[in-house]
Structure 1
């Protein structure tokens, strides 16, 4: 039995419209956090998303809720990417994932805050997501270790600490706005994981 089309103004249409508005706010916030930092106001996000301030405040009553939603959304994409890498057999997949994590964090302040526990600690705010990401890093680390492509004394916690440290190095070098320079710094850091 097929579902009848939504009647204009019905609850079902409003729910779909609310979902679209929430998604538009998330995408706009993601872009603005990446280009302008976490200081951008909720009202500015609403203006750029083409929705009213009340729409943003209804979905995200505080800016911290929006930070978390943006970071969680992007980190879910990283976890999905990590799952795909774990399902493959590339012994260098660990370096691909870590490079992607550093690039994503360097380009987006909300993700960087989540990965470094600056504005909020992902392990507390979204423990299942944090555990999944760390578990995939550990699985890929073990695969790399077995292939001899990573030093044998590195632990998953140390690898995650290197990712967080990469953001400080990128910021210190003033490379946050240069994808090439931040990627170069990430490569230097990740080379420290390779066997001597």
Structure 2
């Protein structure tokens, strides 16, 4: 007795409307939108902006923001980690160029990012969050990218030979403090000028 052939199911059931995959993709897009909006508002309007206002500006419901980021500190941390991931990606792209001065490009980007997010970083410090502890893999990835570009720059004679990656990372952190001390967080021109002054110290004598 032959069996009745079963009817074929949908070719890709996971991709249908309302599927888990679609919902997950939608949730990721909403999270990205919230992160971008929060980063911009924190930089332009300060940390006093509420989660509900961030939701309104991002075009999502308040519940979406609170679901992804139950506290303001959680959102601060996510914004900071997101910026580091972007810098890691930039470092990876620069590593493929073969440019011996690419280190300066990455460090300039790091200092610009730090200047834009100095309020967020200060809030994390105040809340006793350490990015190296909270996101050790991401922080280590960025340090490795800087180390690789530093090695290449030193081999080409574009950077002084006595410089270590630890000293470079310390100088970047010092740049954030210098920019804040000068009150230059909201001025890209002034913060970039301070960054250039610091980066000039890395060049061979």
TM-score, normalisation: structure 1: 0.88
Q: Does the 8 A contact of 1:105 with 1:111 survive in 2? A: no
Q: Does the 8 A contact of 2:110 with 2:172 survive in 1? A: yes
Q: CA deviation at 1:105?
A: 1.3
Which range is displaced more, 39-48 or 137-146? 39-48
Q: Does the 8 A contact of 1:106 with 1:170 survive in 2? A: yes
Q: CA deviation at 1:20?
A: 2.6
Structure 1 position 134 matched with structure 2 position 143? yes
- Over residues 9-64 of structure 1, what are the superposed CA-to-partner deviations in whole Å (9 max), with x where a residue is unaligned? x5454433323322221111111122123332212211222222221111111122
Name the structure 1 match of 2:95.
86
- Unaligned 5+ segments in structure 2 are 1-9
Name the structure 1 match of 2:191.
182
Name the structure 1 match of 2:179.
170
Structure 1 position 148 matched with structure 2 position 157? yes
| Cα root mean square deviation, aligned | 2.3
Name the structure 2 match of 1:161.
170
Q: CA deviation at 1:85?
A: 1.4
The structure number with the bigger radius of gyration is 2
Structure 1 position 122 matched with structure 2 position 136? no
In 2, the alpha carbon distance for the partners of 1:136 and 1:118 equals: 28
Name the structure 2 match of 1:47.
56
Q: 1:122 to 1:88 in 2, by over 3 A?
A: same
Q: CA deviation at 1:112?
A: 4.5
Q: 1:140 to 1:169 in 2, by over 3 A?
A: same
Q: 1:65 to 1:83 in 2, by over 3 A?
A: same
Give the secondary structure class of the aligned counterpart of 1:193.
coil
Aligned residue-pair number: 194
- Unaligned 5+ segments in structure 1 are none
TM-score, normalisation: structure 2: 0.84
Name the structure 1 match of 2:17.
7
Q: 1:149 to 1:17 in 2, by over 3 A?
A: closer
- Over residues 94-113 of structure 1, what are the superposed CA-to-partner deviations in whole Å (9 max), with x where a residue is unaligned? 11110011011112236755
